[in-house]
Amino acid sequence: MDFPIIRERGQNEIFCGLTSIIWLHRKIQDAFFLVVGSRTCAHLMQSAAGVMIFAEPRFGTALIEERDLAGLADANEELDRVVARLLERRPDIRMLFLVGSCPSEVIKLDLQRAAARLSQAHAPRVRVLSYTGSGLETGFTQGEDQCLISLVPELPADTGSAPSLLVVGSLADIVEDQFTRLFRAMGIEDVRFLPARKADALPAVGPGTRFLLAQPFLGGTARALEERGARRLEAPFPLGVEGTTAWLRAAAAAFGVDEPRFHEVTAPAVERARAAVERTCEPLNERRIFFFPDSQMEIPLARFLRQEAGMELVEVGTPYLHREHMAPELAQLPADTVLSEGQDVDRQLDRCREAHPDLVVCGLGLANPLEAEGMTTKWSIELVFTPVQGYDQAADLAELFARPLIRRAKLRV
């Protein structure tokens, strides 16, 4: 469907790509993410992660000081010392990511070359890779895309003739296990995930690889996999009952699973999920929702809320619209849906205030001011941190949107 799109280029309100480390470091269990940045970067990471009491986090910041910015110190020598101390202290690390930030971009520190040097120095125990999480170049979910792009060249080559399925995008372990059981019940046995849970379990990829995107913000990763010979399966994203069913059906069709078997495997989960969503969605029905662009999850979320929760879409903003990847989602949106790509935050705030929707999905920087104006908001970052994909999480996804409306109603009593 050819939607008219409001394209905006102006001031934007969004976290930088460093934020993605908060979920990536939990997913790759023996990796460490070393941000090469300033104290501001360190404070951001601490604030985003919260206080971790029971476990030592697998991320940190190699601080760029004033001497580094002034060119009075050799930043590469400093980095080598920091990495050596880190690996000595944390012998459990098997993969180390050097993550670029705005300060490292400013002083033109070549982290790709540094990663190659350090990887050679610490081989074979530790593999060192690099990617940019700089707010100059990436939004907060694009940090994961950059991380996975850096992993693709490291994936072993799959030279076999048998097809394999690769699920691309960080998923909570419980969601990954649920999908694995469903695929295997259909007869799809060779299922792999990127990123893998362990550094030595990277999935092989080749011409026989068919991949499904589990997250909508991985355009660069998809392109890199296609350059390795893999083929993307076109599907909506696995949000809600209908999205999950269509996503699974795309894999079933590619691997020759007939419709009776597909129905037999999915029907019990579909029935449970629909009943749970129906119980949860009552506060959402016929409520009006406005999405500010933040995570690139906005269009699949809008499809779910319109299709399964009965919400009315005032405006659906997204930082970047990948028409090819979003085609199955766009096909299910109403023809009069207002879409916006990019951001001019003042103009969007004006449109939001004029419409005065029941619920606004936005970043933390906009939520408190809008709440002060009497609007009800939902933090978009929570939708990335929380397991929301798949049948068993469909009601949880609906509840994330229902909860602020229920809270607002109680406060008015």
Residue 53 lies in a domain: yes
Residue 294 lies in a domain: yes
**Residue 147 assigned as binding residue:** no
Residue 252 lies in a domain: yes
Q: How many other CB atoms are there within 10 angstroms of residue 292's CB atom?
A: 30
> Is the CB of residue 212 less than 8 Å from the CB of residue 247?
yes
pLDDT band at 193 (very low <50, low <70, confident <90, very high): very high
Count of structural domains, the chain: 3
Same domain, 298 and 262: no
In 154-207, which ranges are E strands? 164-168, 191-194
Same domain, 230 and 124: no
Cα 141 from Cα 221, distance rounded (Å): 12
* 155 DSSP assignment: S
- Taking alpha carbons only, the member of 117, 193, 189 closest to residue 151 is 193
Q: How many other CB atoms are there within 10 angstroms of residue 413's CB atom?
A: 4
Cα 192 from Cα 32, distance rounded (Å): 22
pLDDT of 127 > 50? The answer is yes
Cα 240 from Cα 217, distance rounded (Å): 18
**Residue 16 assigned as binding residue:** yes
Q: What is the pLDDT of residue 105?
A: 81
Same domain, 71 and 181: no
pLDDT band at 364 (very low <50, low <70, confident <90, very high): confident
Same domain, 224 and 240: yes
Same domain, 263 and 306: no
pLDDT band at 39 (very low <50, low <70, confident <90, very high): confident
Name residue 97's beta-bridge partners.
33, 129
For the record, the structure tokens of 376 come out as 């009800």
Cα dist. 104→32, 69, 335, 396, 406 in Å? 18, 9, 45, 39, 44
Same domain, 63 and 119: yes
pLDDT of 67 > 70? The answer is no
Residue 72 lies in a domain: yes
Summarised one tens digit per residue, pLDDT across range 137-180 is 788 899 999 999 999 999 999 988 789 999 999 999 999 999 99
Hunting for tokens 């890199």 — which residue is that? 224
Domain boundary among 235, 252, 276: 276
Residue 147 lies in a domain: no
Q: Which domain holds residue 321?
A: 277-412
Summarised one tens digit per residue, pLDDT across range 300-342 is 999 999 999 999 999 999 999 999 999 999 999 999 999 999 9
Domain boundary among 226, 254, 276: 276
> Is the CB of residue 315 less than 8 Å from the CB of residue 291?
yes
Residue 145 lies in a domain: no
Residue 43 lies in a domain: yes
User: What mean pLDDT do residues 238-263 have?
Assistant: 98
Residue 157 lies in a domain: no
* 10 DSSP assignment: S
Q: What is the CATH number of the domain that holds 400?
A: 3.40.50.1980
**Residue 102 assigned as binding residue:** yes
